[in-house]
Chain A
Amino acid sequence: MRLLVNVNKKSVIPLVLLPVWFLIYNFLKPVTDWFIDDALGMTVGNHFTEALRFFVFEVPKVLLLLTLIIFLVGIVRSYFSPEKTRKALEGKSLFTGNVLASMLGIVTPFCSCSAIPLFLGFVEAGIPIGVTFSFLIASPMINEVAIVLLFSMFGWKTAAIYVVSGLVIAIIAGWVIGKLNLRHWVQDWVYQSQFGNSDSESEKLKFKDRIQYGYNAVKEIVGKVWIYVVIGIAVGAGAHGYVPEDFMASLMGKSAWYSVPLSVIIGVPLYSNAAGIIPIVSVLIEKGASLGTALAFMMAVIGLSLPEMIILKKVLKIQFILTFAGIMAVGIVLVGFIFNYLVFL
């Protein structure tokens, strides 16, 4: 009995909620069908019926998946910190460092508004700029919200392709930046300043703190993106029955080779979070755009953002930023071509 009393209430909640989650998730399809066909008594096959069915099913499904994954990612992230990542990267050789930095970029909690302190902290620890860039590229590009949305809309293969190509771009772009030796295009004051060594005191978190961390992540991220998810799915549902299937085929289909570079050029200045862009991408694909083109467009939108480049302007000269954007654009275009021409799906 004592044990029960000592258990923190909040850490028990997930244990209760998890079965409930699976129950709802599994019954979503029959409940939706019952609601549309029997409760509302709508005609099966009708455009409006199917659009509504799509919307009523997809919104709770995507939100359920988002909540679960972001909660789990939140718990995983509580084991990582920029300080620990820096320690792990110190003294790594160029290529190994790029691989490790790209992978750590996925799990380390990081927001692009912290790009400057992170950059300076890495530079100070002697981590090569190329390795730092692998981190800075992977972190926004491989985004958990994007993974959930791609998984729920296109299946696990597409989600996996997205993660792998994001990693490959981050590794190679970082490695190229390292090889180009662009140090002279870093703002002069960066290497002149000395901030002294940081004392990375690592506080031991209890597991219930980590669960709290997961809760906070859900509150923060789902609270912010749910509206984009709803709007995106509504647009998708609207396009479902009404826009002709091959509407985008001539513009963004496989046969139009220029579509990949064109989507990247359009995508770079656009900036949106993953939740806003992916439902749009799903409509594009449904209407005849090829996967490579759509993926390239999406990566250009979420991976290369004007606000982040403006932030980086404080530590990097404009030539560096342009080179960085150029390498990224080329990398994304290549990924787009590879998926358009070589791959199965």
Chain B
Amino acid sequence: MEIKILGTGCAKCKSMERLTREVVEKNGIQATINKVEDITEIMKYHIMATPALVVNEKVEIKGLVPSEAEILQVLSKY
């Protein structure tokens, strides 16, 4: 699956990226993780709060840093 982390580089965005990488690694999930920092790219996902977690082009979480369990729950849908 294709995971994108949307965020302009604030602390919350970084912790979302770190947590997502941890979850993917720990559970041996096959995924590419990309960080999107360009604001015009981010706006294409119609979000008004960062950070956001996008899986296969669908916005799954936005505006908050989720727990590892929440990330895993989202990723296991795919």
Q: Give A122 to B40 CA distance when docked, in angstroms.
A: 15
Q: Mask for B31-69, Cβ within 8 A of A = 1, else 0? A: 000000001101110111110000000000001110000
Q: Mask for A292-313, Cβ within 8 A of B = 1, else 0? A: 0000000000000000000100
Q: Give A311 to B39 CA distance when docked, in angstroms.
A: 11
Inter-chain contacts of A199 with B (CB < 8 A): 46
B13 near A: Cβ within 8 Å?
Answer: yes
- Whether A195 contacts B43 by the Cβ 8 Å rule is yes
Interface stretch, picked from A9-17, A89-97, A108-116, A162-170, is A108-116
Inter-chain contacts of B21 with A (CB < 8 A): none
Q: Give A45 to B29 CA distance when docked, in angstroms.
A: 65
Q: Give A111 to B48 CA distance when docked, in angstroms.
A: 11
- Whether A117 contacts B47 by the Cβ 8 Å rule is yes
Interface of B is mostly: loop
A193 near B: Cβ within 8 Å?
Answer: yes
Q: Give A196 to B10 CA distance when docked, in angstroms.
A: 25
Q: Mask for A146-161, Cβ within 8 A of B = 1, else 0? A: 0000000000000000
Q: How many residues of A contact B (CB 8 A)?
A: 26
Of the candidates A82, A122, A311, which one forms a contact with B63 in the assembled complex, judged by CB atoms under 8 Å apart?
A82
Q: Give A321 to B11 CA distance when docked, in angstroms.
A: 23
Inter-chain contacts of A314 with B (CB < 8 A): 39
Of the candidates B7, B11, B46, which one forms a contact with A198 in the assembled complex, judged by CB atoms under 8 Å apart?
B46
A83 near B: Cβ within 8 Å?
Answer: yes
Closest A residue to B11 using CB positions: A113
- Whether A117 contacts B39 by the Cβ 8 Å rule is yes
- Whether A196 contacts B63 by the Cβ 8 Å rule is no
- Whether A118 contacts B48 by the Cβ 8 Å rule is yes
- Whether A193 contacts B8 by the Cβ 8 Å rule is no
Q: Give A7 to B24 CA distance when docked, in angstroms.
A: 32
Closest A residue to B9 using CB positions: A113
Most chain A CB within 10 A, of B8, B11, B44, B48, is at: B48
The minimal Cβ–Cβ distance linking A201 to chain B, given in whole angstroms, is 9
Q: Give A82 to B39 CA distance when docked, in angstroms.
A: 17
Closest A residue to B42 using CB positions: A117
Inter-chain contacts of B50 with A (CB < 8 A): 113-114, 117
- Whether B49 contacts A110 by the Cβ 8 Å rule is yes
Q: Give A111 to B7 CA distance when docked, in angstroms.
A: 12
A273 near B: Cβ within 8 Å?
Answer: no
A121 near B: Cβ within 8 Å?
Answer: yes
- Whether A113 contacts B43 by the Cβ 8 Å rule is no
Inter-chain contacts of A197 with B (CB < 8 A): 46
Q: Give A121 to B43 CA distance when docked, in angstroms.
A: 8
The minimal Cβ–Cβ distance linking B48 to chain A, given in whole angstroms, is 4
A52 near B: Cβ within 8 Å?
Answer: no
Of the candidates B11, B39, B42, B46, which one forms a contact with A196 in the assembled complex, judged by CB atoms under 8 Å apart?
B46
The minimal Cβ–Cβ distance linking B53 to chain A, given in whole angstroms, is 15
A49 near B: Cβ within 8 Å?
Answer: no
- Whether A120 contacts B43 by the Cβ 8 Å rule is yes
Whether A117 contacts B40 in the complex (CB less than 8 A), given A109-B63, A111-B12, A216-B64, comes out as no
A254 near B: Cβ within 8 Å?
Answer: no
- Whether B42 contacts A193 by the Cβ 8 Å rule is no
- Whether B43 contacts A82 by the Cβ 8 Å rule is no
Closest B residue to A200 using CB positions: B46
- Whether B49 contacts A82 by the Cβ 8 Å rule is yes
- Whether A113 contacts B48 by the Cβ 8 Å rule is no
A287 near B: Cβ within 8 Å?
Answer: no
B-facing residues in A62-103 (Cβ within 8 Å): 81-83, 86
Closest B residue to A195 using CB positions: B43
Interface pairs (17), CB distance under 8 Å: A83-B48, A109-B63, A113-B7, A113-B10, A113-B13, A114-B48, A114-B50, A116-B8, A116-B39, A117-B39, A118-B49, A120-B39, A121-B46, A121-B47, A189-B40, A198-B48, A220-B65
User: 6 closest A-B pairs (Cβ-Cβ)?
Assistant: A113-B10, A198-B46, A82-B48, A121-B48, A114-B49, A195-B43
